[in-house]
Amino acid sequence: MRNALAIARKEFRGYFTSPIAYATIGLFALIFGLMFVAFLRFFMEQSLRAGAGGQMGMGGPQTVNVNQMLIRPLLLQASVVVLFVLPLLSMRTFAEEKRSGTMELLLTSPLRDWEIILGKFFGAAGLYALMLAVTMLSVVWLFIYGNPEWRQVLAGYLGLLLLGSSFLSLGMFISNLTQNQIVACFITFAVLLLLLLLNWVAEFAGPTMREVLTTLSITEHFDDFAKGVIDTRHLVYYASFIFFGLFLTSRSLDADRWRG
Amino acid sequence: MIEVQHLTKRYGQTTAVDDVSFSVAKGEILGFLGPNGAGKTTTMRVLTGYMPATHGKATVAGYDVFEQPVEAKRRTGYLPETPPLYPEMTVHEYLTFVAAIKGVPPASRTRQVDTSMQTARVTDVAYRRCGALSKGYRQRVGLAQALLHNPEVLILDEPTAGLDPKQIIDTRELIKSLAGDHTIVLSTHILPEVAQTCQRVVIINKGRVVAEDTPDNLTASLAGVEAIYVQVDTGGGDAAPVLQGVTGVVRVVGTEARDGRFSFEVHSERGHDVRRDLVSAVVSQGWGLLELRPVRLSLEEIFLQLTMEESESDAARAASSRDSDGVASEASSAADSGAQGGNSDA
Ligand SMILES: Nc1ncnc2c1ncn2[C@@H]1O[C@H](COP(=O)(O)OP(=O)(O)O)[C@@H](O)[C@H]1O
Ligand SMILES: [Mg+2]
């Protein structure tokens, strides 16, 4: 585990040696902020119209509204943005080490494969967590000027973290298939988009098929988190997804080794 | 300290390493000599646990590199062909990271990093980015990396490749100074390198070991293959069968006939001087002996010949165009058998 941490630390720092970390954090915070402002304005208009004469702004009784009409759609939108941003974090994990030959250092050091994989995963997930933490600054506003349900906010962020970590685990596997970061980025992006499309396909599918597709769909499981519900089924789903992604990574690492 | 037994590695259809066996004693420096594509890097990658062998077995410090990779890797320092540096890290950051993944306990990390920087003489660039270093410094940082956890075994893949002459000398001195405490395998395609640095040489070509001995013995035993250059004027007939018939002659390499003058290289058994008999054979045929002189093979030539063996067709093509190449191609077989003779002596 100490080895995994050493790698995680190296990965995390590595993001900051290139503009990647600043670019992704900045981009994500910016988009999140813009969405936040848009939803906030929409929400204010709605509540002004609804609360005619009564309370202005976000009063206590409107707690449910803040959560349902502002936070939930905001987090759902954010989950889509995450899909666009995370391939930028996962793309370099293995592709870059293979290209530069440093994979040879890792693979000839007294490390187990899972230490390398977990280290890289935690490094990337750490940066992603930081990215999410920055967006919390806008959410803090809501707490200053209103009274939203903090459990829901936390559940939503937990959901985002799990969702993104699933993306990362898959992205790491794809990054291990190529020596080219950009290729890894595009393939990861395409695969994630396909996963997202499963949702839309489900809309038009028959009942059984819809059931299957929505169970598989990676974003479907996020909705409950956005609502503020932490359901074990969803936790298990994401945990399995992450495990599966890391497992594929470890298989492909081993396959590379045999191929030479 | 290192045992390699019947190691074979295939990449799909290509056999990169073919049934290679050798061993390295504790404290020894073994030179792994061969032309590009001989299979040096592949062998080293198997030894360091980077990839498994297709067949065969390798143990480092008593641990099977495939069965107990972590134990074996703990005791191995490896400098790959291109030093595995992270361009964005400073040398110090890099070595500290390497110390962590090599399992150096946190308490002694600072000291080990400093020691390895001193040994590899990179202290003056400690806070420079690895990506900004010159080739010579990169190579040395790579060496510091390999030395960092004070491993029993050092595997160095072409440690002097791409360095200038001064750096090459420094690196060789450094490697020599490390022997004793460390068991070292270094690969090279430069012949003088092994002669100057190594106690023992394994010559590898096309994945096979073609010779194994001390540099001195190699020179002595292989160069000791008595090769005699003979030029005779037969006036027409072929002289080769006659020369072949002389007792003690191993083979006769005919090269070229010009105006009834034949040039041969005659290889004889070691320690068997056939010159007298050759002369009488030639004279008894009534031929003219135009020239007769011993040929001494330099280590360079031996290496060339050993590694040119098996490319008979190439050699044949060369022979038709150039005299000396034809000689070399056949002489190589002789040199090879000489090498094996040398082995049994050792
Ligand atoms: N990853 C690989 N995939 C396929 N063939 C390879 C690979 N690495 C090396 N080879 C082939 O194996 C042979 C030996 O290569 P190598 O071990 O690198 O030789 P050397 O280090 O002596 O120059 C060469 O013919 C090379 O083309
Ligand atoms: Mg090589």
Note which residues in 91-130 of chain A have CB less than 8 A from chain B: 100-112
Q: How confident is the model at residue B3 (pLDDT cuts 50, 70, 90)?
A: very high
Sheet holding B226-233, edge to edge: B249-258, B261-268, B226-233, B288-295
Residues B194 and B216 sit within 8 Å (Cβ to Cβ): no
Q: How confident is the model at residue A152 (pLDDT cuts 50, 70, 90)?
A: confident
Count the alpha carbons within 13 Å of A42 in the hemisphere toward its beta carbon.
Answer: 14
pLDDT at A174: 97
Among residues A108, A120, A116, which one has the least CA distance to residue B51? A108
Residues A158 and A225 sit within 8 Å (Cβ to Cβ): yes
pLDDT at B306: 61
A259 touches chain B (CB under 8 A): yes
Of A97-101, B167-171, B267-271, the poorest mean pLDDT is in B267-271
Q: How confident is the model at residue B222 (pLDDT cuts 50, 70, 90)?
A: low
pLDDT at B337: 38
Q: Is the pLDDT reported for residue B317 higher than 50?
A: no
The residues, any chain, with a CB within 8 Å of residue B189's CB and separated by 6 or more, are: B33, B34, B35, B36, B38, B40, B158
Contacts of A111 in chain B (CB under 8 A): 70, 73, 101
Residues B267 and B250 sit within 8 Å (Cβ to Cβ): yes
pLDDT at B149: 94
For ligand 1, mutation pick of B17, B33, B42, B155 (most atoms within 8 Å of CB): B42
**Between A150-175 and A113-145, two packed helices, what is the crossing angle to 10 degrees?**
150
The residue-averaged pLDDT of B152-161 equals: 93
The CATH topology of domain B2-218 is Rossmann fold (3.40.50)
Predicted confidence (pLDDT) per residue in B111-149, tens digit: 999 999 999 999 999 999 999 999 999 999 999 999 999
Q: Is the pLDDT reported for residue A233 higher than 60?
A: yes
Q: How far apart are the CA of B47 and the centre of ligand 1, in A?
A: 15
* Candidates B82, B88, B97; nearest CB to A17: B88
The residue-averaged pLDDT of A58-67 equals: 55
**Percent of chain A whose pLDDT exceeds 90:** 51
The residue-averaged pLDDT of A10-39 equals: 90
pLDDT at B248: 78
Q: How confident is the model at residue B315 (pLDDT cuts 50, 70, 90)?
A: very low
CA angle A115, A117, A123 (to 5 degrees): 95
Element (H, E) at B111: helix B106-119
Q: How far apart are CA B281 and CA B175, in angstroms?
A: 53
Q: How far apart are CA B331 and CA B335, in angstroms?
A: 6
Among residues B161, B202, B210, B195, which one has the least CA distance to residue B298? B195
B189 touches chain A (CB under 8 A): no
Choice between B175 and B316, residue whose per-residue pLDDT is larger: B175
Task: Show the tokens assigned to A134.
Answer: 């920055």
Of A226-240, B18-32, B224-238, B300-314, the poorest mean pLDDT is in B300-314
Choice between A186 and B235, residue whose per-residue pLDDT is larger: A186
Q: How far apart are the first and last CA of chain B?
A: 19
Among residues B32, B157, B128, B59, which one has the least CA distance to residue A105? B157
Residues B71 and B151 sit within 8 Å (Cβ to Cβ): no
Residues B283 and B234 sit within 8 Å (Cβ to Cβ): no
**Domains B2-218 and B221-294 are alike in CATH topology:** no
* Candidates A3, A17, A260; nearest CB to B11: A260
Q: How far apart are CA B336 and CA B203, in angstroms?
A: 11
Task: Show the tokens assigned to B1.
Answer: 């300290």
**Between B106-119 and B135-147, two packed helices, what is the crossing angle to 10 degrees?**
140
Q: What 8-state DSSP symbol labels residue B182?
A: B
Give me the torsion for CA of A212, A217, A221, A227, rounded to 10°.
-110
CB contact under 8 A, A108 and B78: yes
Taking CA–CA distances from A102, the nearest residue in chain B reads B84
pLDDT at B321: 39
The residues, any chain, with a CB within 8 Å of residue A13's CB and separated by 6 or more, are: none
Residues A16 and A24 sit within 8 Å (Cβ to Cβ): no
The residue-averaged pLDDT of B98-114 equals: 95
Residues B175 and B162 sit within 8 Å (Cβ to Cβ): no
Q: Which residues pair with B7 in a beta bridge?
A: B20
Which is it for the CA torsion A237, A243, A248, A249, positive or negative? Answer: positive
CB contact under 8 A, B51 and A6: no
Which is it for the CA torsion B317, B318, B321, B323, positive or negative? Answer: negative
pLDDT at B70: 95
* Candidates A7, A104, A257; nearest CB to B80: A104
Q: Is the pLDDT reported for residue A183 higher than 70?
A: yes
Mean pLDDT of chain B: 82
The CATH topology of domain B221-294 is Alpha-Beta Plaits (3.30.70)
B132 touches chain A (CB under 8 A): no
Domain extents in chain B: 2-218, 221-294
Predicted confidence (pLDDT) per residue in B331-341, tens digit: 333 333 333 33
pLDDT at B10: 93
Taking CA–CA distances from A100, the nearest residue in chain B reads B84
The residue-averaged pLDDT of A142-159 equals: 83
3 state DSSP class of B229? strand
Query: DSSP string covering A85-152, please?
Result: HTHHHHTHHHHHHHHHTTHHHHHTSS--HHHHHHHHHHHHHHHHHHHHHHHHHHHHHHHHHS---HHH
Predicted confidence (pLDDT) per residue in B241-277, tens digit: 888 888 878 777 776 667 778 888 787 776 677 888 8
Helices then strands, counting H and E runs in chain B, come out as: 14, 14
Q: How far apart are the CA of B142 and the centre of ligand 2, in A?
A: 16
Q: How far apart are the CA of B148 and the centre of ligand 2, in A?
A: 23
Query: DSSP string covering B110-153, please?
Result: HHHHHHHHHHTT-GGGTTSBGGGS-HHHHHHHHHHHHHTT--SE
CA angle A208, A210, A214 (to 5 degrees): 125
pLDDT at A252: 95
Q: How confident is the model at residue B66 (pLDDT cuts 50, 70, 90)?
A: very high
Alpha carbon nearest to ligand 1 atom 6, residue: B11
Choice between B164 and A247, residue whose per-residue pLDDT is larger: A247
pLDDT at B55: 93
A1 touches chain B (CB under 8 A): no
CB contact under 8 A, A107 and B49: yes
Contacts of A7 in chain B (CB under 8 A): 101
Contacts of B101 in chain A (CB under 8 A): 3, 6-7, 105-106, 109-111
pLDDT at B307: 60
pLDDT at A130: 95
Among residues A237, A13, A30, which one has the least CA distance to residue A126? A13
**Between A150-175 and A181-204, two packed helices, what is the crossing angle to 10 degrees?**
120
3 state DSSP class of A66? helix
- Outline where A146-231 has alpha helix (H): 150-175, 181-204, 207-216, 222-227
Q: Is the pLDDT reported for residue A260 higher than 80?
A: no
Residues with CB under 6 A from ligand 1: A 260; B 11, 14, 16, 34, 36-42
Among residues B97, B145, B103, which one has the least CA distance to residue A112? B103
Taking CA–CA distances from A18, the nearest residue in chain B reads B88
**Percent of chain B whose pLDDT exceeds 70:** 82
Radius of gyration of chain A (CA): 20
Q: Which ligand 1 atom sits nearest the alpha carbon of residue B42?
A: 17
Q: How far apart are CA B158 and CA B74, in angstroms?
A: 22
Sheet holding B200-205, edge to edge: B76-79, B153-157, B183-188, B29-33, B200-205, B208-213
Complex prediction ipTM: 0.88
Q: Which residues pair with B211 in a beta bridge?
A: B203
Q: Is the pLDDT reported for residue B95 higher than 80?
A: yes
Distance of CA B199 to CAs A182, B178, B288, B306, B324, Å? 47, 13, 46, 19, 31
Element (H, E) at B23: strand B14-24
pLDDT at B340: 38
